[in-house]
A = this chain, B = another copy of it.
Amino acid sequence: MKAITLNSFGGPDAFELRDVPRPAPGAGQVLVRVHATSINPLDYQVRRGDYRDHVPLPAITGHDVSGVVEEVGAGVTAFVPGDEVWYTPRIFDGPGSYAEYHVADESIVGKKPASLSHLEAASLTLVGGTAWEALAVRAQLRAGESILIHGGAGGVGHVAIQVAKAIGARVFTTARSEQFEFVRGLGADVVIDYRNEDHVEVVMRETAGEGVDVIFDTIGGDTLSRAPDVLAQLGRVVTIVDTAQPQNLVQAWGKNASYHFVFTRQNRGKLDELGALVERGQLRPHVGATYSLADIPLAHARLESRDSGLRGKIAIAVVPPAHADARQPRA
Contacts and interface: CB of A to CB of B under 8 A. Distances in A.
A254 interface: yes
Nearest to A242: B250
A248 interface: yes
A138 B258 contact: yes
Contact of A256 (B245, B248, B254, B262): B262
Given A246-B248, A253-B262, A257-B260, 17 more contacts: A138-B258, A242-B250, A242-B253, A243-B249, A243-B252, A244-B248, A244-B250, A245-B248, A247-B248, A247-B249, A249-B261, A253-B261, A255-B261, A256-B265, A259-B259, A259-B260, A259-B261
A239 interface: yes
Contact of A263 (B247, B253, B262): B253
A46 to B, nearest CB: 14
Contacts of A242: 250, 253
Contacts of A254: 263
B250 A243 contact: yes
- Chain A, interface SS category: loop
Given A254-B263, A255-B261, A259-B259, A246 B243 contact: no
Interface string A75-100: 00000000000000000000000000
Nearest to A138: B258
Nearest to A252: B261
Nearest to A248: B246
A7 to B, nearest CB: 26
Interface residues of A, number: 24
Contacts of A239: 253
A94 B241 CA distance: 42
Contacts of A246: 246-248
Nearest to A243: B249
Most buried by B among A248, A259, A265: A259
Contacts of A248: 243-247
Interface string A217-256: 0000000000000000000000100111111111011111
Max chain B Cβ within 10 angstroms of own Cβ: one of A239, A256, A265: A256
A249 B249 CA distance: 11
Interface in A273-324: none
Nearest to A224: B249
A248 B239 CA distance: 14
A152 to B, nearest CB: 21
A315 to B, nearest CB: 27
Contacts of A138: 258
B243 A253 contact: yes
A313 B248 CA distance: 30
